[in-house]
Each structure stands twice: as C-alpha cells, then as structure tokens.
Structure 1
Amino acid sequence: MDYEPDFDYGDINGPFLGGLAVSEGMLTKEELYSPLFRQLFHNVHVPAFIPVTHELRCRGAALIAPPGAVLSGCSAAAVRGLDFTIARDPVEFIVPESAKFLTRRGLDIRRTKIPGIEAEPWSDLLLASPLRMTMDILTHNKLRRSFPRVVGLLDALLRVKMVDHTALELLVRNRHDHGIRRAREAVALADPRAESIPESELRVLLVQAGFDPEPQLVVYQNGVFLGRLDLAFAEFKLAVEYDGEWHKDGPQPERDARRRAAFRAAGWQFIIVTKEQLYGDPGAIIAAVRSRICPQVLAA
C-alpha cells in the first residue's frame, strides 16, 4: 500500500530531479528518500501516490536524456496509446552518436550517426514518427523480443492504421540497418486481421512450422452466419483459437461454449491455446495441429 501522509507537494505533481528539488529547498534529502517518493531512475523521482506506468517513466527519462534524444520503439508506441509495454520495461531512446551520455539502469539507448530523425516534440525531448518508431521495433534485437512477438506488434500497428504497410515495405526494401533482415521478414508476414498480439504470435508460430492458417475466417452454414474463427484450416474444418485471461471471466466462458458448440455441430474441431501453452509449450501446439491435419492429408 502506498504511503500518502499529510504533505504539501507544492509543484511536485510528476517526475522531477531529486538533486535539484533538494538544492532548491523544495524538500529535504530525508523526505526525498522517504516513502513519500519513489525513484524511477538515478536522480529521477516521483511522488509515491502517482501510479507508475511506462508513459510516466518515459516522462521521467526525458528529464535526463541528452539534447537531440528521440523516444522510439515500444516506448513511443506506449506514449501514442498502444499497450506494448509493462511499466518496468526499459525506456527506449535514440541518441546522437556524439552525445556524451552513459546509459542508466532502466534505459535502452541506441546511438545513430543519422541526423534529422523524423520526430515531433514531446515532453522535454522528441517522439519518433510512427514509421520510424515501427522500424525501431522491427530491427531492435537487443531487447530479445521473439520474432512472433515482433510480428504481433506490427500487426497491431497496422490494425489501428498507425503505420502504412506499403510505406513500410518501401522503407525496409533498400536499407541496410542492423536487424533489417528480420524487419523484412516481419513485414512480409504481417497481417492486421488478428485481433490481439498473442493471436498474431500463434499465427506466426504455425507459419514457421509450415502451416498456413487463415486469420479471422468468417464461416456460414447453409447461409446462416456461424461466426469468425481466430485461425482456421477451412479444408480440414479445424480452428485454432487463443483464449486469454479474459475468456475465463464473467459470461465469456458460456459465450465461448455456445459458439463452439454451434461450430462443432457443423463439423468443426477446435484446438484451444492458453497463455501458458503459447509461451510455455509451443511445441505441443504444433504437435496438436499436426496430429489433426497430417492424418487427413495422408488419407487423401
């Protein structure tokens, strides 16, 4: 539980430089390091009653970023309203190669020789354009995002029309950045029809295993609309669907059961994938799909 005693915060209503606040007499050093405040980065603090989000940490990092720094990657996406990060993910910056700035814990710094990165003012620094932000998401290998995850993030950007697929294809075609090969592969596999990032990850997992599922297939039976399927193999009447945590709550389980019962009555089979399976045992998912499809192919 956050500590929020009777304290006059004055102008301190967001991230601030702790050393500056103490030197200007806004608070004492003892108060700075008391439960009244929490530290976001070295010398960057925030009142403890303010919930820590990734966007808040981006604003805090802006206080210590060097001139010309550009917020990019998934951090820029978070500022633009996309749920690509958790609060404690590293804040992603591009800084000029000449900048005398040492990275700090909680920051991910990329240096570039290229001047004039397309960006706009935000907080005390610059915010990468959607196209540049997307390029950084696709090419950045240091944060060890899986390839299916990268495609899932791109699918989400395309789905909300934050970036144009054709413009992105043109951008990656003739560049030679580190990580550009992965970026080209991701752009080639991108499909905005997926309704969630895990659903995209599941699709890419299947594609990498040699399958070709159809995303968000609309199914009719005798002219009657049955519904849409996350991923479908229409030839085999097999659906592969991702059930996230929200499928376990409220009326959703009953809705799922009724919907799938209607499909099963029409001859469809289902493989239901949970979060634990997708991230913990992807091989079992591939095996399950193969066991349903390959016998039918051999029989034919």
Structure 2
Amino acid sequence: MTWSDHVEAARLALPPSARTTGATRLRQLGLKVGPPSPLHFVVAGDLHLTLDGVFLHRTVKMPPHDEDGVSAEAAFIAFCAEARLIDAIKAGSVLLNKTAMDRRLLERMLAEEPWRRGAAEASYVLPFLEGDCRSLPESELFAYVLFAELPVPAVNQVIELSDGAAVTPDLWFAGHGLAVEYEGEHHQDDRAQYNADIDRYAAYRRSGVPYEQVTKERLRSPKATVRLVHRALVDRGYEGPPPSFDGAWPTLFMALRELVRRARTA
C-alpha cells in the first residue's frame, strides 16, 4: 500500500466528517514535512476512537475544509503545534510561495480563533516566513543565514549580469555581489534543470560574479553551511561580525511549543 492508500483506508474507518490535518494534510498539498505516520485527522465533537497509525484530533469547531482535508492555513496551524521552529519556517514559507496558503487568511484565523491547537505556535513563527522561497531547502538555507545574524540576502530576485543575462539566484547578497545557490537532487536528475544550471553558472563566470553552491549533503551540517557563506562574504569584502551560533540560532532546532512557553514566562 502507498501512503495515499493508508490515508484512504483511515478515512474509510473514520466518521465521514473527519478531515486530514497537520503534517498529513500538508503532505497531501505536496510538502514532505513531518513524519509520514501517524496520520493526522480532525473531527468536531468529543469522539474517542483508536486506530493503529492514526491520531484523531478533536475540536469544538471544524476549521475551513474541503472533501479531503482542512485548509492549508488550518493545517499549518495544526502542524506548528508539534513542529520545531526550522520545520515550521520551511513549511510556511513554501506554502506562501506556492499560494497554497494565504497570509491574510492565516492572520485572520489566528486573530479570531486563538484557542485553536497550534495557534500560539503559528503566531510565533509567522514573522520568520519568507514567501519568496520556492522550496523547503531554500527556506532552510535562508533561515540559517538569518538566524546566524549574517547580512540578509534577497531571495529569488532577478538580477542582470554585465553581459545582459538575467539570472535568479536563490540568495543574493547585493552589497557584496555574491550569489548562493542550493543544489538538490533534482538539479542532477532533471536533465533540463541540469543544463539550465550549467548555463547559469557559465553566465556568472563570464560576468565575474562569484557564487557558492550548497548541496543537499552540505545542508545537513547547518553550521558548516553558514561558515561557507560567511567565508565567501569575507572574500568579497565583508567586515561585519562572524556568524553567531548563540542567541537566536539554537531556537531554530527547538519545538515551537517550548519557545511559546518561554515567551509567556519571560
């Protein structure tokens, strides 16, 4: 059985009013975030039902939903109840970029229904969402740079090179003329993307624009990735402070519920 088959099987075993939510709903929307199981569903009322591999949430009022699951805004709020800050930043940023989630609708739901599970956590992460990030790794890379207190780059901003070519670097440090690009598996597996990358890097070289490539493997070492970007900035004349791995940095890897608790008791 595929993951979708398991979702459908759970749906058949649950009341007709049950809808997918949280990470399960976000996976249905195309984002591979959170663990694939248990599956998350929500139902209105005080229904107690135990199913293997299914977590059934109960609510006093169903959020907006369609025949499959709750809205992207509601699913994101539910996801934030259990997510780390970095994972919520990644998911929320890409949802905004893909227009699957509307920031205004999200803000309205948080303002009007602050009692919802995950609302306080979603409110906490909202200021850190970057809707110009096109993928989860791009958003992760941007968050690492931001929380390490390096200069804030533009995200997917079209720039014109000296030879007239237009490129869109993942991160662009305009003050230092540095591009940083994420290289995921699809950059190698997709031949069209592979050739487009070759052309883009050739254009950078012709115009004398330095660039750094961050691979999937490099991204697994957040601090090493940040140091790579910092070193490239220094090579371009950056004289600011080095990356800070104190302060805000550790919060990236903490559960949002813990960050909210700390904020309330501060």
Name the TM-score class by shorter chain: 0.7 to 0.9
Greater relative contact order (CA < 8 Å, ≥ 6 in sequence): 2
Give the drift of 1:88.
4.4
Cα contact 2:23–2:34 (8 A) shared by 1:
no
Residue matched to 1:270: 211
Q: TM-score, normalised by structure 1?
A: 0.68
Correspondence for 1:117: 63
Of 156, 164, 168, 2:94 maps to 156
* Cα distance, 1:239 vs structure 2: 1.5
- Is 1:200 aligned with 2:139? yes
What percentage of residue pairs aligned between the two structures are identical?
A: 25
Change in Cα spacing, 1:271 to 1:288, as seen in structure 2 (3 Å) is: same
Shift of 1:177: 4.4
Report deviation, 1:231. Answer: 0.9
2:77, 2:117 within 8 Å by CA — same for their partners in 1? no
The letter for the 1-side match of 2:3 is H
Whole-angstrom distance in 1 between the partners of 2:206 and 2:173: 17
What CA distance in whole angstroms lies between the structure 1 residues aligned with 2:222 and 2:49?
41
What is the DSSP-based 3-state SS (H/G/I as helix, E as strand, rest coil) of the residue aligned with 1:224? coil
CA distance in structure 1 between the aligned counterparts of 2:65 and 2:194, rounded to whole angstroms: 44
- Equivalence map 1:180-259=2 (5 Å): 180-211=119-150, 212-222=152-162, 224-249=164-189, 250=191, 252-259=193-200
CA distance in 2, matches of 1:186, 1:151: 7
Question: By percentage of residues, which structure has more strand?
Answer: 1
- Which residue number corresponds to residue 25 of structure 2? 76
Larger helix proportion of the pair: 2
Greater CA drift, 64-73 or 208-217: 64-73
Unaligned segments of structure 1, at least 5 residues: 1-51
Is the CA contact 1:155–1:192 (under 8 Å) kept in the aligned structure 2? yes
Q: Is the 8 A contact 2:161 2:167 kept in 1?
A: no
Would you say the 8 A contact 1:57–1:87 is kept in 2?
Answer: no
What is the CA distance between 1:67 and its match in structure 2? 6.0
User: Which residue matches 1:65?
Assistant: 14
Counterpart of 1:92 in structure 2: which amino acid? H
2:72 corresponding residue in structure 1: 130
C-alpha displacement at 1:59, in angstroms? 0.8
Q: CA deviation at 1:96?
A: 4.4
- How far has the Cα of 1:66 moved from its partner? 4.3
Aligned length, in residue pairs: 236
Match of 1:169 in 2: 107
Matched, 1:298 2:239: yes
Could you say which structure has the larger radius of gyration?
1
Cα separation, partners in 2 of 1:118 and 1:167, compared to 1, 3 Å: closer
In 2: Cα distance, 1:268 partner to 1:180 partner: 43
Question: Which ranges in structure 2 are unaligned for 5 or more consecutive residues?
Answer: 241-266
* RMSD of aligned residue pairs (Cα, Å): 2.8
Question: Given residue 262 of structure 1, which amino acid in structure 2 is its aligned partner?
Answer: A
Match of 2:243 in 1: none
- Tell me the amino acid that sits aligned with residue 63 of structure 1: L
Tell me the residue number matched to 1:54. Answer: 3
Report the AA paired with residue 128 of structure 1. V
For residues 146 and 255 of structure 1, do their structure 2 counterparts lie closer, same or farther at Cα, with a shift above 3 Å needed? Answer: same
What is the TM-score normalised by the length of structure 2?
0.76
Deviation per residue, 1:93-136 (Å, 9 max, x gap): 124462121252x2233333x234333344xxxx2133322322
Is 1:99–2:47 an aligned residue pair? yes
